[in-house]
Chains A and B, each alone.
Chain A
Amino acid sequence: NAGVMQNPRHLVRRRGQEARLRCSPMKGHSHVYWYRQLPEEGLKFMVYLQKENIIDESGMPKERFSAEFPKEGPSILRIQQVVRGDSAAYFCASSVWPQGGVYNEQFFGPGTRLTVL
């Protein structure tokens, strides 16, 4: 039973290019969360998605960032026109139905480390 998969593990982009980060949740999980971790800091929530729906995007920057979780295929975090400040580790997590928030164990992927030159 594979865990949460993320690819690529490392991504290097030049300023102005686009970055696409992929996340395949654990089998049977229909909820996906994206977090960003800047160096020497904790993880910061970005967005929460279910299949074909964005539930909570309150942590997403207003511009250049978008996320999707299509009916088929992985969840994609897309960063357009990257800048140096976007350099960070981006983690995806998945969970089963949260059951009203009583219990919400999120399983994390290994992360994608984005470096913007």
Chain B
Amino acid sequence: SQQGEEDPQALSIQEGENATMNCSYKTSINNLQWYRQNSGRGLVHLILIRSNEREKHSGRLRVTLDTSKKSSSLLITASRAADTASYFCATDGIGSRLTFGEGTQLTVNP
């Protein structure tokens, strides 16, 4: 598996439900970030969590980080059809580059 691997690869839920996506990584990190990408578009930065933080909130987003397990989760509460997108985690422990996972494709059905 690669650094920053997300699961599930695809997730389909109904509007109003919560969506949880997970990310695992292999090496030490400074920060972990979550990005969103709509089909055929660029990346939008959602939230950054530092290696010394365990949980962070931003609106309907909640991110957790467990450095002992080298994993993170992104929770989107009360999902909307407009949340349909691909979600990527990215770590920045190797110099200044970001290492991305393969992404979770989230579909929120109205």
Contact = CB atoms under 8 A, between A and B. Distances in A.
The answer to whether A and B belong to the same complex is: yes
Nearest to A113: B40
Contact of A98 (B40, B93, B96): B96
Contact of B45 (A31, A56, A105, A113): A105
A55 interface: yes
A31 B98 CA distance: 13
Contacts of B92: 101, 104
Q: Give the contact-size bracket for chain A.
A: 20 to 34
A44 B100 contact: yes
Interface of A: 31, 33, 35, 41-45, 48, 55-56, 59, 91, 93, 95, 98, 101-111, 113
Interface of B: 4, 30-31, 33, 35, 40-45, 48, 50, 88, 90, 92-93, 95-103
